[in-house]
A = this chain, B = another copy of it.
Amino acid sequence: MDCLKQKLVQKGLLCNNANKSKDILMLSKNQIKLIKSLAQKKYRQQLGLFIVEGVKGINEFLNSDVRLHTLYTTKSIFNIDKDLEVEISEVELKKISAFMNPNTALAIFYIPKPKDIDIDRLIVALDAIRDPGNLGTIIRLCDWYGIKDLVCSSNTVDCFNPKVVQATMGSITRVNVVYLDLERFVLDYKGLVFGTYMNGENIYTAQLPDSGMVILGNEANGISESITQNVNERLTIPQFGAHKKTESLNVATATAIVLSEFSRRSIET
């Protein structure tokens, strides 16, 4: 990355922090373009960088092991290496922010390398989740329920998408999100594989172990057939009441209920 950074500095695309004056900086058109390009997965992957906006969110990342690249701020209120800080005006901040009313700062961090998956603990797996809000909520839920590893099919929305980062409320710094060939991973996995379906065993009465893998499927189509072939236990969240006309639960809501139920059992036993 440092070589890439050097190239970008040479092209005037990233500010050279070492040389920058401590006066409030005007961002060049190319700098703005580069920062805005990080809204797209292609450029995030190319540059290995992602964006975090707002004081609270940025502090969550600063207090984690995720490495800061540059912080653009209207107030020098962060406890960081000042060489990585660029003070800008509100007007400049608006130019690089995705928000109508940006909150004080925008930071660029290096995308961290995924860690090894602990296959002895409960793993959550996502098959083709498309909505950034859903993925963000699921990451937050994994954090709440102490799930360390979230494995995602490669066609699941990118967890460094700014909307996902925003929705996780900092939880993404504590959950190891790994993108992989989910079909292959499930096939090779030695533990019990659970999946959520409309017509499986009642989750409230099913046997749920402390470890294993639980898969949640795409918002419209559920878990794909090729993955279903390697699911050992089909689980269902039953409907209550007389009519039972509700079509389905949102996948983030279903994840909440599934993780609640797995976790509850772990304290019961």
Complex Cα–Cα for A145 and B246 (A):
9
Residue A170 CB within 8 A of the other chain: yes
**Shortest Cβ distance from A169 into B: residue:** B247
- Choose, from A13-21, A35-43, A44-52, A251-259, the stretch at the interface: A251-259
Residues on the B chain within 8 Å of A58, using CB: none
Complex Cα–Cα for A204 and B263 (A):
10
What is the number of residues of chain A that contact chain B, defined by CB distance less than 8 Å? 37
* CB of A189 to closest CB in B, whole Å: 21
Residue from the list B140, B143, B253 in contact with A137, Cβ < 8 A: B253
**Shortest Cβ distance from A205 into B: residue:** B267
A253-B256, A256-B253, A260-B260 known; A240-B146 Cβ under 8 A: yes
Most buried by B among A141, A143, A144, A237: A144
Complex Cα–Cα for A171 and B244 (A):
10
Residue A232 CB within 8 A of the other chain: no
Q: Is the CB of B263 within 8 A of A240?
A: yes
Complex Cα–Cα for A144 and B169 (A):
27
A240-B263, A261-B260 known; A246-B204 Cβ under 8 A: no
Residue from the list B144, B148, B250 in contact with A239, Cβ < 8 A: B144
Residue A220 CB within 8 A of the other chain: no
* CB of A51 to closest CB in B, whole Å: 21
Residue A245 CB within 8 A of the other chain: yes
Residue A24 CB within 8 A of the other chain: no
**Shortest Cβ distance from A262 into B: residue:** B240
Residue A180 CB within 8 A of the other chain: no
Interface residues of A (CB under 8 A from B): 133, 137, 140-141, 143-148, 169-171, 174, 204, 237, 239-243, 245-247, 249-250, 252-253, 256-257, 260-261, 263-264, 266-268
